[in-house]
């Protein structure tokens, strides 16, 4: 209504006739001729006020209630809307035992990671830290390390583990404060085991077992050979009646020598030639007839004699102490 009244006033003023007279000295004024240009019409800036709008409040309508609820949900605090990162499973230190040459896998499952980063760190002997990986990038010059991500599992792999790789490895998440999960890796050195000594009679069959422990051969098949004395030729090529059974999966070898003779006595060597070189030696004694029984009897007699001698010494010392 105010706008209509204002518009009508402006139009009325614009079309109404106006007589403008000017005085120049003593000359009388005369009305403006029709050819004269009328003065410009000036529009004043008139402020139009309106009633203030009432602010919307929750409860005015179901639609407004829905809008208010949606806005409040979208502006919730970050920690209320999302869960904090966490390790899946146990958080206690994990001990990993590995054989030399094997592949070691460190599993680190992190849930609700979002914008945080995951890195693998190795703790050195002098308490220094070596950065191995950052997210999916490798930051070490050692090409044996691999990084893989599968179903929230940040998996670090170490190929061809060595004894010097033993130590503490940490899965680190860049939260505040930082999250750490520790792994203690123990890489066992390889060893070869066999009995140290064997006593047999002539005509018997020698049976020796050799086992290689804590060694993963990889793709190459292990090479196990048997030698006698200082010979560099395999025993099965030197003498007949020799049977060698080798299991490459379990890294074990079984030697059998039939119909033993006195000349078969000596050192028997189980040698691993590949992938590394290791040897174990057994001293074999071959006795004739009842020599073994006599040897065993002699051992028992000597032991009994030594026990009797020791008892006498204790008795004599005890007697002297009583006299004093």
Band the pLDDT of 17: cuts 50, 70, 90. low
Q: Under DSSP, is residue 235 helix (H, G, I), strand (E, B) or coil?
A: helix
Q: How many CA atoms lie within 13 A of 259 on its CB side?
A: 4
pLDDT digit string, tens, across residues 173-187: 999 889 999 999 999
Q: Which of 18, 184, 50 is nearest to 104 (CA)?
A: 184
86-188: CATH superfamily: Immunoglobulins (2.60.40.10)
pLDDT digit string, tens, across residues 157-175: 999 999 999 999 999 999 9
Q: Which residues partner with 109 through β-bridges?
A: 153
Query: 137-141, 188-192, 209-213, 306-310 — which is least confidently predicted?
Result: 306-310
Note whether 86-188 and 191-287 share their fold. yes
Pair 137, 150: CB distance under 8 Å: no
Element spanning 197, H or E: strand 197-201
Report d(CA 209, CA 270) in Å as an integer: 9
Band the pLDDT of 25: cuts 50, 70, 90. very low
191-287: CATH superfamily: Immunoglobulins (2.60.40.10)
Q: Under DSSP, is residue 187 helix (H, G, I), strand (E, B) or coil?
A: strand
In this prediction, residue 265 carries a pLDDT of 93
pLDDT digit string, tens, across residues 48-88: 455 555 555 556 566 656 565 565 555 544 444 568 888 88
Q: What is the mean pLDDT of residues 219-240?
A: 86
Query: 9-13, 207-211, 223-227 — which is least confidently predicted?
Result: 9-13
- Upstream peptide bond of 275 is cis (omega within 30 degrees of 0): yes
Q: Is 228 left (phi over 0), alpha (psi -120 to 50) or beta?
A: beta
Report d(CA 29, CA 229) in Å as an integer: 152
Q: Is the dihedral of CA 193, 198, 202, 207 positive or negative?
A: negative
Q: Which of 224, 253, 260, 255 is nearest to 242 (CA)?
A: 255
Q: Which CA distances in Å does 255 have to 224, 243, 282? A: 11, 6, 12
Band the pLDDT of 24: cuts 50, 70, 90. very low
Q: Whole-model pTM?
A: 0.61
| Per-domain boundaries in the chain | 86-188, 191-287
Is it the case that residue 256 has pLDDT exceeding 80? yes
For the chain, what is the mean pLDDT? Answer: 78
Report d(CA 285, CA 274) in Å as an integer: 29
């Amino acid at each position: 209504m105010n706008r209509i009244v204002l518009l009508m006033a402006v139009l009325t003023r614009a079309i109404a006739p106006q007589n403008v007279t000017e005085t120049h000295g003593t000359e009388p004024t005369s009305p403006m001729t029709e050819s004269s240009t009328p003065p410009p019409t000036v529009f004043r800036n008139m402020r139009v006020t309106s009633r203030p709008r009432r602010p919307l409040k929750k409860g005015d309508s179901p639609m407004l209630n829905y809008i208010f609820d949606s806005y409040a949900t979208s502006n919730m605090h970050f920690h209320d809307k999302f869960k904090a990162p966490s390790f899946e499973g146990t958080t206690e230190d994990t001990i990993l035992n590995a054989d030399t040459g094997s592949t070691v896998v460190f599993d680190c499952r992190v849930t609700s990671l979002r914008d945080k980063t995951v890195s693998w760190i190795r703790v050195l002997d002098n308490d220094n830290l070596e950065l191995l990986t950052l997210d999916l990038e490798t930051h070490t010059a050692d090409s044996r390390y691999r990084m893989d991500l599968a179903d929230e599992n940040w998996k670090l792999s170490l190929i061809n583990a060595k004894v010097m790789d033993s130590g503490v490895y940490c899965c680190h998440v860049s939260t505040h404060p930082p999250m750490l999960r520790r792994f203690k890796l123990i890489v066992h050195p390889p060893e070869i085991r066999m009995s140290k000594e064997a006593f047999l009679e002539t005509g018997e069959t020698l049976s020796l077992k050799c086992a290689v422990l804590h060694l993963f051969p990889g793709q190459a098949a292990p090479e196990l050979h048997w030698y006698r004395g200082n010979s560099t030729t395999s025993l099965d090529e030197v003498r007949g009646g020799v049977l060698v059974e080798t299991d490459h999966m379990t890294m074990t070898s079984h030697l059998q020598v039939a119909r033993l003779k006195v000349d078969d006595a000596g050192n028997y060597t189980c040698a691993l030639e590949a992938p590394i070189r290791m040897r174990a030696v057994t001293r074999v004694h071959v006795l004739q007839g009842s020599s073994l029984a006599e040897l065993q009897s002699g051992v028992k007699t000597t032991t009994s004699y030594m026990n009797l001698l020791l008892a006498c010494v204790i008795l004599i010392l005890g007697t002297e102490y009583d006299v004093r």
